[in-house]
Structure 1
Amino acid sequence: MMMHAYGMDAREFLPFILPLMGKYEFYLPHFRGFGAAKDIELTQFDFVHQYAEDIDTVIEHICLRRHVESLPVAAISMGALVMWSYFERFGTARVSRYLNIDQSPVIHNQPDWQGGLFGDRQKERFAVFQEIVDRTLPYAHVEHFTHLPFSLKRHVTDVERLFSLLSVSRPRSKAVVQALTHQNDHKLAFYNHQTWQHKMRCLQAYLAIPYDFRAVIENVTIPVVSLIGGQSKLYDPNWQQEITCMLPNARDVILPRSGHAVPMDEPIGFHKVLKKFCENDLRVATKKRLSKVAFLGDAAKFKS
């Protein structure tokens, strides 16, 4: 099972898994509010907590349906944060091994941990996000993005572009982001941004809730591979490696030229790591081979 990032559509994984589908099956769930599940609303402010509950339901369903005890999971960014919440609440019995893609279990910096989101630039970056949350809150009841004041629409899309640009490192990736996110005035006036309210709600929770799942690390004894973007501006690679050292049975794979959005910056490298993860060809610190792939199910989505 593969879990997507904030603002990502799980189907963006398809180019990477299609060459592997002759040998493996994959589940690509969408989190509430995104992709094929964009019409399914959150019922809790703590969206990470609710997503973890949803993932537990999905994993239990897969295991029962396919008659397996556990399955491998790969997760990137927000999806990986959800997995840390899942491990805290439900343990690791249903996960045979885990591929963590450029994500720390800590969002807000702490006196003893400066490896949170945006690292030493967290305060200034969070101030930008808090401003956009505050500006959009009075319009939370507005159903259509097209009905927002033009200046607010421009601010929302500018902040989203900023986040996307911070997520990539390679010049070609930045060029793609610029091309995909550019909205001239005429286009922006008619732009139907279907997930803007949900994204703002998630962002509000990110800023308000001090997510810190370090306490569960010692209990995650399954094999873990941490795939790290060596140029990540969202989560400092050195602090990510600290997490790997804290895990009982883990190893790093660092793609030195990649930013946070590993599949975009290093598509070939990402595919190679994913392929080896599926093949059980990634060794961990215990020197014990990972168990053979039992299952990576077919496409699915959350129901509610």
Structure 2
Amino acid sequence: MVMVPVRDGQSLSVRVIGRGRPVLLLHGLGMSGAHWLPFVLPHLHRHRFILPDLRGAGASADVPFKPGDIFRAHAEDVQDVIAGLGLRDLTLGGISLGATTALHLLSLDGFGPVRRYLHIDQSPCIGNRPGWPHGLFGARQDEMFARMREVLALVGEHPDCRRLAELPAPVRQAVGDRLAPVLAEMAGGAGLHSALRVVFRLPAALLGRMPVPFSDLGHLRRYLPAYLSGGHDYRPALAACTVPVTVMLGAHSPLYAEAGQRLIAEHHPRSRVVRFEHSGHVPLKDEPLRFARELGRFLRED
């Protein structure tokens, strides 16, 4: 683990392992760089993997978020990691939030030293709009976004609370009632909705010891507005992208429609789509053996 300084004076924790051509992999929301380890270990003899923990995650959990757009902030941090480690001739990959971060990096100034890109289950345009029904949650976006706005309003009434467990019990339960369907949809677990509602009703002392999603209210306050804005549309940047893109998508992703994800690979003749027939939003979890094989194939193509 190395500490890489970023432009606002903070430092990110970054795992650097292996030797050979550099591969920078960006994790999703609720994950950390460590989630890549089981899949990259067989390839350490041919590739040097750079696995940052983004702000608020893993060993970078205590790094404060920068003001402004959270996706731009993450993309700027990635720029600083690339510059700080002197990375050249780079392969880049990202899943979910990590993929959005990568696309934001593309929109800032192109991919720069990136020569190939691996994109895993993320839409190139988060908000639905005329002619684009493939944003976050697809046809259910209005319903889910309404729940997310209610959560923000409830949390906003208690600005001094930093943790979920610090909210008054009735407010915490109300947040759980609205947030549980959203989290269950994100995780793709049919029985998770009811279980999460129970968790949000646990005593504060017990809840504070559990790894509950968004238990840090700072995450809710930063990520929910970014998704709700719906203003991030990376299709123009992708249309100008000059590097080949491999898209890995879950055929049963509850978050992003397959049709929208396939568009990401349309603009380069060497791009391709890998469809995980039995996966939801996270093929790493749903089909780990096949994901390991496909990642190996992607790396060998280098």
Normalising by structure 1, report the TM-score: 0.81
The 1:208/1:176 distance shift into structure 2, 3 A limit, reads: closer
Superposed counterparts of 1:3-18, under 5 Å: 3-18=26-41
* Partner amino acid, structure 1, of 2:207: Y
Matching of residue 50 in structure 1 with residue 62 in structure 2: no
Listed one character per residue, the Cα deviations across residues 183-225 of structure 1 (whole Å, up to 9, x for unaligned) are 2744554322652322332112211251111111122111110
Matching of residue 191 in structure 1 with residue 214 in structure 2: no
Q: Distance in 2 between matches of 1:222 and 1:51?
A: 21
* Partner amino acid, structure 2, of 1:135: L
Partner of 1:71: 90
The 1:177/1:209 distance shift into structure 2, 3 A limit, reads: closer
Do the aligned partners of 1:99 and 1:224 also contact (CA within 8 Å) in 2?
A: yes
Do the aligned partners of 1:7 and 1:199 also contact (CA within 8 Å) in 2?
A: no
Partner of 1:230: 251
Matching of residue 210 in structure 1 with residue 226 in structure 2: no
Matching of residue 138 in structure 1 with residue 138 in structure 2: no
Do the aligned partners of 2:127 and 2:229 also contact (CA within 8 Å) in 1?
A: no
Superposed counterparts of 1:11-160, under 5 Å: 11-62=34-85, 64=86, 69-157=88-176
Do the aligned partners of 2:128 and 2:230 also contact (CA within 8 Å) in 1?
A: no
The 1:13/1:157 distance shift into structure 2, 3 A limit, reads: farther
Q: Distance in 2 between matches of 1:44 and 1:155?
A: 28
Do the aligned partners of 1:70 and 1:93 also contact (CA within 8 Å) in 2?
A: no
Q: Which runs of 5+ in 2 are unaligned?
A: 1-23
SS in 2 for 1:99: strand
Q: Distance in 2 between matches of 1:44 and 1:108?
A: 22
Partner of 2:260: 239
Partner of 1:257: 278
Do the aligned partners of 1:220 and 1:248 also contact (CA within 8 Å) in 2?
A: no
Q: Which has the higher strand share?
A: 2
Deviation at 1:78, TM superposition (A): 1.0
Q: Which runs of 5+ in 1 are unaligned?
A: 281-291, 293-304
Partner of 1:301: none
Deviation at 1:251, TM superposition (A): 0.8
Deviation at 1:87, TM superposition (A): 0.4
Q: Distance in 2 between matches of 1:99 and 1:178?
A: 35
Equivalent pairs counted in the alignment come to 274
Normalising by structure 2, report the TM-score: 0.82
Q: Distance in 2 between matches of 1:249 and 1:136?
A: 46
Do the aligned partners of 2:162 and 2:216 also contact (CA within 8 Å) in 1?
A: no
Partner of 2:5: none
Do the aligned partners of 2:176 and 2:196 also contact (CA within 8 Å) in 1?
A: no
Q: Which structure is higher in RCO with an 8 Å CA cutoff and minimum separation 6? A: 1
* Partner amino acid, structure 2, of 1:263: L
Listed one character per residue, the Cα deviations across residues 227-258 of structure 1 (whole Å, up to 9, x for unaligned) are 01011111101221133224454110001111
- Name the stretch that deviates more: 194-203 or 71-80: 194-203
SS in 2 for 1:210: coil
SS in 2 for 1:190: helix
* Partner amino acid, structure 2, of 1:220: C
Q: RMSD between aligned alpha carbons?
A: 2.5
Q: Percent of counterpart pairs with the same letter?
A: 32
Do the aligned partners of 1:56 and 1:90 also contact (CA within 8 Å) in 2?
A: no
Deviation at 1:167, TM superposition (A): 3.2
Do the aligned partners of 1:225 and 1:250 also contact (CA within 8 Å) in 2?
A: yes
Do the aligned partners of 1:154 and 1:188 also contact (CA within 8 Å) in 2?
A: no
